[in-house]
Structure 1
Amino acid sequence: MNNTTPTWYLSDFYIQYINNIPYKLKTPFDMSFIEQYGKVFKVYDDQDSGNICFGVESDGKKYFIKFAGAPTEQYSGKPEDAIARLKSTVSIYQDLAHPKLIRFIKAEEVGGGFASIFEWTDAECMGRMYPLSREKFLQMPDNTRLEVFNDILSFHIHVKKQGYVAIDFYDGSIMYDFGIGRTLICDIDFYSKSPYINTMGRMWGSSIFMSPEEFTLGATIDEITNVYLMGATAFALFGMGKDRSIEKWRLNDQLYKVVLKAVNVDRKNRQQSLAEFECEWKRACDN
């Protein structure tokens, strides 16, 4: 029995092992090719994107491998669609390379699917799917959270300058390395060239972070949409997410007004650019 053979079947999924680490798949799939990248020390098998991800180490260096093509347990689509989506993300990570974005190394066809290889980070995720690291994140002092937010805003101004619009950014995209005090952004797979037209109705994403136009078929998704996203992100960091009452807001009232304007359901009443939002945010920070 090799280390990727299923050891048991549990109603809806199989358990396989790689380097003695268990992970779930809908049906058996030979993942032994992953070991060509190094020794696996971590597996992320709960994504609904159709990707399964691995932390590997080789010659003292660590990498993050994102693979599409396996029958992942949470994914309801076809493996070939997941492969096509992952292939389409290569140019996104190349175009949007930034000090605050997880560093893309290369991508290739392998193992009957497609793999993207990134530099590993020890940063921890703010996403609700990781309750322990999320709690650690939310215990950070406000000054540190302000630095994180400013890093996120700076990155999205860069996104705009590169001619892109952020789609499906949420708390699971926000990471922080507590050891070196560094913000990192990951999982930008759905970012697209701007302007983007909503052809779905409800688009991808967490509803806490989504503007009304991301629920509206035919709506334009653009920089003003991302102004809403920055407001929603500020509320996630400083104001309990969906509960946007002033009583739950951690910072000064001027900042609250700036952020409340950003999440106005009427896009004409938001700041009309990320630069305008940044200007108002910085002015309110100084008060």
Structure 2
Amino acid sequence: MIPAPRLPVEQRLYVPSSGEASDVELLPAGDVTEGVLRVGGTVRRPHQPQSYAVADYLDWLEDAGFEGSPRFLGRDPSGRDVLTFLPGDCAGAMPEHWVQSEDLLVSVARLVRRLHAVSAGFVPAAHPFPPRPLPVAHEEQDGLVCHLDVTPQNVVVRRGLAVGLVDFDLAGPATGFKDSFNTAMHWVPLRHPGDSWPGWETLDPFRRLRVFADAYGWTEEERRRLPEFGAHATLLSYHRMEHRARNLGGGWARMWAEGAGGRIERRRAWLEANGSRLIRALTD
């Protein structure tokens, strides 16, 4: 049976069912997006300028057979984006002890690798992604649309393994190495020891980085340039977050006021100071 053709994403209207209103849950607020609800088997999110570009991307992932992302259903009568709900566990703002599992770390790397494999060929033609703030001419980009925010809070876990990704608000063109480095930055994590989450101080970031790199499949060249690449990416992140805090306010301003800039600068200094050790851990 041939499935019916989809309406363009901007024409999809989601009609709530009568039973959904009795099953509503306020989901944890992200760093930037608030007011996200689970209603029955759906998630309702505030509509964003990039929502239709993300919806086209989610359609592509569905057609490619990738089961680890939500499906875009349309907009509800209140104008909110409606997506399917992915059941499972996500880490809290302060990641729980179970997030430290190396088996989970391996599964995250493999899930991101699968995402990149099925994303190849997607071209956001009908609804281009909005340009990122402060574009830099020498920033690496090969056109591969990536998630770019694979934090512990945005990974759905079942039976101790990563099975899905949520919150595609920051998705856009980049490179697989950029997205996978960004993922490792959050999951290893790569940060100054003084900024470790409580209970994470004793973990070995060099071992965990090697575990992630092997699971994702970084090349020898990628492993050797990681410290320099990471320090440069962190510098760009600092300037972009500062720009967003000053011009967009909201969650960006709150994170900046809570010291995000200082943490980013300390991460960059840590990457630079430990460059040789990171390369040895990745290549020996």
Greater share of strand residues, 1 or 2?
A: 1
TM-score, length-normalised on structure 1? 0.50
Greater share of helix residues, 1 or 2?
A: 2
Between 1 and 2, higher relative CO (CA 8 Å, sep ≥ 6) is seen in 2
Structure with larger Rg: 1
TM-score, length-normalised on structure 2? 0.50
